Amino acid sequence: MGMTFAQKVLAAKAGLDSIAVGQIVEIEPDVCLSHDNTAAIAKTFAKIGISHVKDPDKFVIVLDHTVPASEEKYAQNHKEIREFVQLNGIRRFYDVGVGICHQVLPEKGFALPGRLILGSDSHTTTYGAFGAFAAGVGRSEMAVLYATSRIWLKTPSSFKMIVHGELEEPVSAKDLILHIIGSIGADGALYKSVEYTGEAIEAMSIGSRMVLCNMAIEMGAKNGYCAPDHKTQAFLADRADGPYTAVFPDDDAQYERVLEFDASSLGPQVARPHTVDNVSPVDVVAGTPIHQALLGTCTNGRLEDLRVAAAILDGRKVANGVRLLVLPASQEILLEALEEGIIDTLVRAGGLLLNPGCGPCLGAHQGVLAPGEVCISTANRNFKGRMGSRDAETYLASPATVAASAVTGVITDPREFF
């Protein structure tokens, strides 16, 4: 009997020929990620009684959540992390300004096909877009990884999601993943390995595949996966930090569920407050007044996302009473957008450029919502209180929908601009 992607990766890392769904294995991940929560993890690590991180080169640490520090407690947090990094000789440390961890790690060549990547952040699933098994773990688990470089993992069963057809512009991967999550629910793929496949996936850019895998966790998945191909190889050509071997599911692999979707019939989607699976076509909520529009984050802060927004905003202005926040996912993307003139277009339209980081996405700073305010965002979560006040509302949508809504001042179908 054949094995799924998850079975094959975990079997290989455990040194086994085969592995069964539900089997618990002890493995050593290839890469471990943490960010601003490293300070808290370091305190737990200290309680274990081991003086130094076992394998410093296995760890990547990125400061991204509240950057630059907005108040003293965050400044102290960053200081403690810098001291921890120095003490343990962790070379793969990216300080304030480099970008969001889920963009930085692929840019620096750590997200490679066939790798097992664990991170103390739920959206670590993003790296499945490169053919890696990538999953989030808790802070205490990361502390143990600091100490031992090993962990137990339970082998998940798998869902195969076949996406037929082709997305019609301006419909994007964000609309697709919102539709999928709305269809199966926020816990519809709980602790499953989700394999995205089909002609629509093959046609997608690497950035679009990252959107799908980033939000796999929003349906409860342990990891998401897109098969690596020539696009993956091209992205990694001058980035990969070492050799890699792609892993593919067997043709006769056994799946718990096989779900099929038609991309060609899909229109723009919106996740309404206050859950990611509260999804509807954009026309259901069209006309809802907004106060803030957030363009960017680790979900949709790549060059292609900023580019489609700029196409809509070019020659237009952000509506009176609306704040458009522009949040590139990394310094690299910011520089590319500057060179291409995208930032010029967005700022002249009335957008406010923020430094690469997480800030407003989690309500840390740079765009917290007041009671009664409504935001439309390209981020991945719209929970009550996520972006500030618990009496505010957040709608999730694609970059095209966010840009169109920023222009009109109400939630708007972006197809009106195409």
**Domains along the sequence of the chain with CATH:** 23-261 (3.30.499.10), 269-417 (3.30.499.10)
Q: Residues 336-343: contacts with CB within 8 Å, 24+ apart?
A: 336/303, 337/303, 337/306, 337/307, 340/303, 340/307, 341/310, 342/303, 342/306, 342/307, 342/310, 343/306
Instruction: Provide the 8-state DSSP code for 93.
Output: E
What is the per-residue pLDDT for 411?
A: 98
Distances (CA, A) of 273 to 18, 230, 325, 393: 43, 38, 20, 6
Distances (CA, A) of 183 to 180, 221, 300, 365, 393: 5, 14, 21, 33, 22
- Average pLDDT over every residue of 180-207: 98
- Average pLDDT over every residue of 166-181: 97
- Average pLDDT over every residue of 320-337: 98
- Average pLDDT over every residue of 45-61: 95
pLDDT tens across 132-164, in order?
Answer: 999 999 999 999 999 999 999 999 999 999 999
What is the per-residue pLDDT for 1?
A: 80
- Specify the residue for token string 């599911």: 249
Reply yes or no on whether the pLDDT at 25 is more than 90. yes
pLDDT-derived band at 3, boundaries 50, 70, 90: very high
Reply yes or no on whether the pLDDT at 221 is more than 90. yes
Instruction: Provide the 8-state DSSP code for 379.
Output: S
Strand 193-197 with 158-164, pairing: parallel
What is the per-residue pLDDT for 187?
A: 96
What is the per-residue pLDDT for 147?
A: 96
Rg of the chain over all Cα atoms, to the nearest angstrom: 21
Tokens linked to 25: 């294995």
Q: What is the mean pLDDT of the chain?
A: 97
Report the Cα 47 to chain-centroid distance in Å: 31
pTM, entire model: 0.96
Strand 279-281 with 292-296, pairing: unpaired
* CA separation for the pair 13, 30 (Å, rounded): 9
Reply yes or no on whether the pLDDT at 23 is more than 90. yes
What is the per-residue pLDDT for 32?
A: 98
pLDDT tens across 358-369, in order?
Answer: 999 998 899 999
**Are the C-beta atoms of 96 and 67 separated by less than 8 Å?**
yes
